[in-house]
Amino acid sequence: MTPVDLKRPGGPAIHAVDPWLPGNPAKGRRHQLLSENERAQLAKISSIVRFKKGDRIYSEGDAADAAFNIISGVVAAYRNLPDDGEHIASLLHPGDIFGLSEEGRYTNACRAVTPVVAYKIPVTAMRRLLANSTDLDVDVIIKLCEELRRAQRHAFLLTQKRSVPKLAMFLDLHEHLQTTQGESASEIYLPMDRSDIAAYLGLTLSAVSRAFRTLISQKVISCRDRRHVKILDRKAFEKIADSQDG
């Protein structure tokens, strides 16, 4: 499930696609951005924290005293809605950073979708490191560019009006995520449950369920169980995912 270097951590790791270096070789490949030295420096000021599945990591509006860097597991950054639903702003994976803030307060709440291990990095120490500025700051900039693009892709996904293409795009996204992390491409693993998918796609639970059913009955995908999806008809799948007919 997780690459080797994340299992035996040598300090925080930031994975991202370089925004400036032209494509090949290793097109679309995510690199570990930090040098051994930088990772060691960060390791000195950070601690390792663990969360059980479902644990709240912090709430919206809490004092933002630390940023986090995921070693293993999946985290959801979300906001609560007035009608007690929730909107998931992003799903974060190993190599991602979260805990950004506005005026010293977290803008989202965060919870562990799976068991999570992460580095916790105090912001004050982090700012000091950034000011003494090795190449660390450029790496952080690169990572932020990537997160920005992700947020924009998410917004794009949300403009899709029909539920089936939305779900297809979501599955596509997760397949890419898994292949770029070097895992089996034959099956997509979904670590979150249906209600999380609904909150991320801006749909109701029912709509997500029906969208799965539609794709299954059209023999475009099959589900071994609720968390394992296989793509049966790649061509139909991509047609549904990148155009908007479902």
Query: Which residues form the interface with a second copy (CB under 8 A)?
Result: 17-23, 27-28, 64, 77, 79, 81-83, 87, 89-90, 100-105, 107-108, 123, 127, 130-131, 133, 135, 137-138, 140-141, 144-149, 151-152, 154-156, 158-159, 161, 202, 242-244
CB of 149 to a second copy, least distance (A): 6
Binding mask 140-179 for DNA (x = CB under 7 A): ---------------------xxxx---------------
Considering beta carbons, is residue 29 or 53 the nearer one to DNA? 53
156 binds, among DNA, a second copy, none (CB under 5 to 8 A by kind): a second copy
158 binds, among DNA, a second copy, none (CB under 5 to 8 A by kind): a second copy
- Encoding tokens for residue 192? 């979150």
Residue 57 backbone class (left: φ over 0; alpha: ψ -120 to 50; beta: rest): alpha
133 binds, among a second copy, DNA, none (CB under 5 to 8 A by kind): a second copy
CB of 1 to a second copy, least distance (A): 26
Instruction: Look at strands 86-92 and 105-106 and give their pairing.
Output: unpaired
Considering beta carbons, is residue 72 or 95 the nearer one to a second copy? 95
Q: Which of 53-81 are b and which e, b meaning 16 or more Cβ less than 10 Å from the residue's Cβ?
A: eeeebbeeeeebebbbbbbbbbbbbbeee
Binding mask 180-219 for DNA (x = CB under 7 A): -------------xxx------xxxxxxxxxxxx------
Alpha-carbon distance 73 to 116, whole Å?
Answer: 4
Alpha-carbon distance 35 to 136, whole Å?
Answer: 9
- CA torsion 33-7-64-86 (nearest 10°) is 110
148 binds, among DNA, a second copy, none (CB under 5 to 8 A by kind): a second copy
CB proximity list for 108: less than 8 A, separation 6 or greater: 60, 77, 78, 79, 89
With vertex at residue 189, the alpha carbon angle to CA 183 and CA 192, rounded to the nearest 5 degrees, is 130
CB of 202 to a second copy, least distance (A): 4
